[in-house]
Chains A and B, each alone.
Chain A
Amino acid sequence: MSSYTENELAKDLENQEYKFGFTTDIGSDTIPKGLNEDVIRLISSKKEEPQWMLDYRLTAYRAWLTMTEPEWAHVHYTKPNFQEMAYYSAPNQTKKYESWDDVDPEMKETMAKLGISLEEQKHLTGVAVDFVMDSVSVATSFKSKLAELGIIFCSFSEAVQDHPELVRANMGTVVPHTDNFYAALNSAVFTDGSFCYIPKGVRCPMELSTYFRINQAETGQFERTLVIADEGSYVSYLEGCTAPQRDENQLHAAVVELIAKDNSEIKYSTVQNWYPGDKNGKGGIFNFVTKRGICDTNAKISWTQVETGSAVTWKYPSCILKGDNSIGEFYSVAVTNNYQQADTGTKMIHLGKGTKSTIISKGISAGKSQNSYRGLVQIHKNAHNARNFSQCDSLLMTDECGAHTFPYIECKNSSAKIEHEATTSKIGEDQIFYCLQRGISEEKAISLIVNGYCKEVLNQLPMEFAVEAQKLLTISLEGSVG
């Protein structure tokens, strides 16, 4: 019988180092540190943006100046110094690659380490990848294939150049520039991101995927993603993150906006593995993200996230269920280890009749980490027959970590049905005993239990991503998974 005990598991978790900690050495074009209107003008001019875009950035910046950094989340960290950061960093090759062979071999290697060899994916998996190395998108595959269907999938800056009418009409409609401190900052200084438009009635034939990496030291990365699914369309969008090892805290303040028109469906999956800091809690990424989607009649938005990285995570992918019979879903696994802190959850705003939402959140805390679920379910007056089901479970692996639940339930309609349940516990000794008794080693038993615990969420991930997610879970909780 294996002598692997929970204490050993805890030790293993603690010693688990970040596996994707490497830096790609590419000359970068970085502007001086600091933030003011000139910096914003500089970013805008470097990206050759139209005047309306610059105006939008400046309005956001002026709004940001009047805001104060929020402090209500259940996390503690040293606030970033916004004047000590550089706001633009781009690999310094400006020409676009004609063919994949022209791409800098070092960059290819980075991708190989991430396990996303583009050629392979092109031929084998059918995933179109918009690869973002820091801020400028350097390679986009499958574009022509998607273009045949009228699908636009490109970097945000390209979209600003090529499809200004779509960007201008939709950007900021879900997350306005005044939404919150970090959304305002992002609106002012965002450098790039992804843009996706699915035309009416089109079912996107492949999973669209973006890999993000923060590569330049001391560069806050401000991504902006806008996904528009026109009437009756369907898209599954994957976002995955890994970042190189850094000692200084880096800020990642992204904004993701999803617009699901009548009868459309957007499935947005995230695997997040930013650098979480070392086992003494030094370094790591601050991940302060605003993600929100809006659903028209009969539309559906489904958020799935596997969060294993970042020193501090602060994000609430939300759904505004505006149209009648629209559906919002949120599936999340959040793993925190060592000194990581996560305050994550969702908001489901029910405005339309017959709207439904499901929230499944699974938290796993190990080491000395703090893992909080914070969610809002709001049923407005006219949301007749709205339905919500929430389940937020927490698993505690050591006696030094914390698991917290802060659900907000606000109901203004008598025909609504809301259920919320949450449990917090450790892996039961009886559960382990049961497995041991049937000849399963303790290590396997823990793996089995954790796997089963997360299954509901992992099942929601697209096939291509499920593998990556399991890899990350293995890295974060090696010894307990697989």
Chain B
Amino acid sequence: MLEGLTPTSILLDEKELSLAKNTLATNQLPTTRMEAWKYTRVAKLGKTNYRSSEETIESLDAYRIAADATTFVFVNGHFSEELSSDEMPEGVSISPLSSCMEGEINSSNLVLEDEIFTALNTAFLTDGVLIDIEAKAIIEKPIQIIHLLKGEAALSNFKTIINAGDFSKAGIIQGFFAEDANKAFANVTSEISVGKNAFLTIDKIQYEAENTSHISTEQVSQEKDSTFTINTITLNGGLVRNNLNIEVIGENCETNLNGTYLLKGKQHVDNHTVVDHTVPNCNSNELYKGVIDDQATAVFNGKVFVRRDAQKINAFQSNGNVLMSDNATVNSKPELEIYADDVKCSHGSTTGQLDEEAVFYLRARGLSEKSARKLMVSAFIGGALDKIENKDVLKYTYKLLKERFAWDFESDFNS
């Protein structure tokens, strides 16, 4: 899969680069015999000859999630200057990694040891974006990063680095789309550090194509008194794997992880989350809800660590799944690993189908079967979608739901 790829020209840290090359040379693609990849097969990625290709798109209109936002656009990982905003809001600097000087890319907290996808991302990094939010900056306008896949077997190794300064507040929208893409692969990493007392919200919409692959790894670290929220909305994509690792290193933090996934066809979506509580007095809330139709497969693996002496932790984790077809599959693995005693931790996982009695109740009141089911699905995923505060993101999600599932939820939510 590596032939025809050119090593990265981004000025990354030398040590990190050599570690990545080493990992690539010594590791194979993960197999289902590995615990972390038990439910997700990635062998087909190894059989495709990917290439890095520069493409352009005509118009951004269809992919603009928020109309009033600072927008940066990347096609197959390459920065598209003409489609991106030229004006930069105050208090934040956003720049493509390709324009960064040596030493400016000041990160890496990604674990590379046996993670072949992060190593691949580093060694062949196409481009990325560096977002530095100044201390005490309140960024009113959302920052929008739009990433598109285009063309045959295109591979994009893309990296987002977000440094949210102390006492800052910002909202970042990430959109992943595909246009005329075939067997394309987005391999994305994000390194996010949330400073003291900072508020950072990320809304991530994944809407690629039925034969594209998407593997993303987010490494988040939270300092004291900070609040971090991420909403992951997965509506299209052949193979999607989200690794979300959150390390809470400061006290009094709040962490919110919400996910919504609606799958059909032969989609495979795998959400792997880790919340690692290393210090006391923190809260984390996790809510993932999914609807799975046709032959699609959903995987949820949530893990909460409470380390020794990390007392007074409240950690809640919940995963709900509705199966709409007999060929659909759900694999759910909500895990808790707790080494402190004064904690309140719980997790729950449910898998089922729409309650026929409730459907009957609605039909008895004059709703068609279709709209009764639609109403119930919308009520079910509403629990997770309600957590999204950005109205533009919500509105865009409804638009995508209508486009892909012909379900008009917007009226339900607004009425």
Binding site for B on A (CB under 8 A): 72, 74, 379, 381, 394, 396-426
A396 touching B349, Cβ below 8 Å: no
Which of A402, A417, A421, A426 is B337 in contact with, Cβ under 8 Å? A402
**Is B27 an interface residue when CB atoms closer than 8 A count as contact?**
no
A408 touching B325, Cβ below 8 Å: no
A419 touching B350, Cβ below 8 Å: yes
A396 touching B323, Cβ below 8 Å: no
**What are the residues of chain A within 8 A of B330 when measuring CB–CB?**
409-411
A414 touching B308, Cβ below 8 Å: no
* A341 to B321 Cα, complex, angstroms: 33
| Beta-carbon nearest neighbor of B348 in chain A | A421
B347 touching A422, Cβ below 8 Å: yes
Which of A381, A400, A408 is B331 in contact with, Cβ under 8 Å? A408
A397 touching B349, Cβ below 8 Å: no
**Is B352 an interface residue when CB atoms closer than 8 A count as contact?**
yes
**Is B193 an interface residue when CB atoms closer than 8 A count as contact?**
no
A404-B345 contact given A409-B330, A413-B326, A417-B352, CB 8 Å threshold: no
B308 touching A400, Cβ below 8 Å: yes
B347 touching A411, Cβ below 8 Å: no
B343 touching A425, Cβ below 8 Å: yes
Which of A421, A422, A425 is B344 in contact with, Cβ under 8 Å? A425
| Beta-carbon nearest neighbor of A382 in chain B | B326
Q: Say whether chain B's binding surface is mostly helix, strand, loop, or mixed.
A: strand
A401 touching B35, Cβ below 8 Å: no
A404 touching B337, Cβ below 8 Å: yes
B347 touching A416, Cβ below 8 Å: no
B353 touching A404, Cβ below 8 Å: no
The distance from the CB of A465 to the nearest CB of chain B, in whole angstroms, is 30
**Interchain pairs with CB closer than 8 A, number:** 119
A414 touching B333, Cβ below 8 Å: no
**Is B335 an interface residue when CB atoms closer than 8 A count as contact?**
yes
**What are the residues of chain B within 8 A of A413 when measuring CB–CB?**
323, 326
Residue of B324, B328, B343, B349 ringed by the most chain A CB atoms within 10 A: B349
Which of B332, B339, B350, B352 is A402 in contact with, Cβ under 8 Å? B339
Tell me the chain B residues, 332-370 only, with Cβ under 8 Å from chain A.
332-353
* A405 to B309 Cα, complex, angstroms: 19
* A410 to B334 Cα, complex, angstroms: 12
B326 touching A414, Cβ below 8 Å: yes
Which of B308, B324, B342 is A426 in contact with, Cβ under 8 Å? B342
B335 touching A424, Cβ below 8 Å: no
A398 touching B341, Cβ below 8 Å: yes
**Is B329 an interface residue when CB atoms closer than 8 A count as contact?**
yes
A406 touching B346, Cβ below 8 Å: no
10 new A-B contacts at CB < 8 Å, known A410-B332, A412-B328, A421-B349: A405-B335, A408-B332, A409-B330, A410-B39, A414-B325, A414-B326, A418-B351, A419-B350, A423-B346, A424-B345
**Is B255 an interface residue when CB atoms closer than 8 A count as contact?**
no
**Is B311 an interface residue when CB atoms closer than 8 A count as contact?**
yes
Binding site for A on B (CB under 8 A): 35, 39, 308-309, 311, 321, 323-353
Q: What 6 A-B pairs come out closest when comparing CB atoms?
A: A414-B323, A396-B341, A409-B332, A418-B351, A420-B349, A423-B346
B346 touching A424, Cβ below 8 Å: yes
* A227 to B335 Cα, complex, angstroms: 34
B341 touching A397, Cβ below 8 Å: yes
A399 touching B333, Cβ below 8 Å: no
The distance from the CB of B1 to the nearest CB of chain A, in whole angstroms, is 29
A418 touching B350, Cβ below 8 Å: yes
The distance from the CB of B261 to the nearest CB of chain A, in whole angstroms, is 15
* A414 to B334 Cα, complex, angstroms: 20
The distance from the CB of A419 to the nearest CB of chain B, in whole angstroms, is 5
* A411 to B331 Cα, complex, angstroms: 6
A399 touching B326, Cβ below 8 Å: no
**What are the residues of chain B within 8 A of A379 when measuring CB–CB?**
351
* A407 to B337 Cα, complex, angstroms: 12
B342 touching A424, Cβ below 8 Å: no
* A416 to B338 Cα, complex, angstroms: 30
| Beta-carbon nearest neighbor of A398 in chain B | B341
| Beta-carbon nearest neighbor of A400 in chain B | B308
Which of A401, A410, A414, A417 is B324 in contact with, Cβ under 8 Å? A414
A421 touching B333, Cβ below 8 Å: no
A-B contact pairs, 13 of them (CB 8 A): A394-B338, A396-B338, A407-B333, A408-B333, A409-B331, A410-B331, A411-B332, A417-B352, A420-B332, A420-B347, A422-B334, A424-B338, A425-B345
B334 touching A407, Cβ below 8 Å: yes
B333 touching A406, Cβ below 8 Å: yes
**What are the residues of chain B within 8 A of A398 when measuring CB–CB?**
341
A426-B349 contact given A400-B308, A413-B326, A414-B323, CB 8 Å threshold: no
A403-B311 contact given A416-B352, A417-B351, A422-B348, CB 8 Å threshold: no
| Beta-carbon nearest neighbor of A390 in chain B | B349
| Beta-carbon nearest neighbor of A388 in chain B | B351
B321 touching A426, Cβ below 8 Å: no
**What are the residues of chain A within 8 A of B348 when measuring CB–CB?**
419-422
A414-B331 contact given A422-B346, A425-B345, CB 8 Å threshold: no
Which of A400, A404, A409 is B351 in contact with, Cβ under 8 Å? A409
A416 touching B351, Cβ below 8 Å: yes
A421 touching B346, Cβ below 8 Å: yes
The distance from the CB of B216 to the nearest CB of chain A, in whole angstroms, is 24
Which of B35, B321, B344 is A72 in contact with, Cβ under 8 Å? B35
| Beta-carbon nearest neighbor of A406 in chain B | B335
The distance from the CB of A405 to the nearest CB of chain B, in whole angstroms, is 4
Residue of A400, A408, A424 ringed by the most chain B CB atoms within 10 A: A424
* A397 to B341 Cα, complex, angstroms: 7
The distance from the CB of A118 to the nearest CB of chain B, in whole angstroms, is 43
The distance from the CB of A343 to the nearest CB of chain B, in whole angstroms, is 12
**What are the residues of chain A within 8 A of B347 when measuring CB–CB?**
405, 420-422
**What are the residues of chain B within 8 A of A425 when measuring CB–CB?**
343-345
**What are the residues of chain B within 8 A of A424 when measuring CB–CB?**
336, 338, 343-346
* A417 to B335 Cα, complex, angstroms: 20
B345 touching A423, Cβ below 8 Å: yes
**What are the residues of chain A within 8 A of B350 when measuring CB–CB?**
417-420
**What are the residues of chain B within 8 A of A405 when measuring CB–CB?**
334-336, 347
* A416 to B333 Cα, complex, angstroms: 17
| Beta-carbon nearest neighbor of B292 in chain A | A414
**What are the residues of chain A within 8 A of B346 when measuring CB–CB?**
421-424
* A419 to B340 Cα, complex, angstroms: 26
B338 touching A402, Cβ below 8 Å: yes
A410 touching B329, Cβ below 8 Å: yes
| Beta-carbon nearest neighbor of A426 in chain B | B341
* A420 to B289 Cα, complex, angstroms: 15
A409 touching B328, Cβ below 8 Å: no
| Beta-carbon nearest neighbor of A403 in chain B | B338
Residue of B325, B328, B346 ringed by the most chain A CB atoms within 10 A: B346
The distance from the CB of A369 to the nearest CB of chain B, in whole angstroms, is 11
Which of B328, B332, B339, B343 is A414 in contact with, Cβ under 8 Å? B328
The distance from the CB of A338 to the nearest CB of chain B, in whole angstroms, is 16
**What are the residues of chain B within 8 A of A410 when measuring CB–CB?**
39, 329-332
* A72 to B338 Cα, complex, angstroms: 18
* A402 to B126 Cα, complex, angstroms: 43
* A411 to B323 Cα, complex, angstroms: 9
| Beta-carbon nearest neighbor of A72 in chain B | B35
A418 touching B352, Cβ below 8 Å: yes
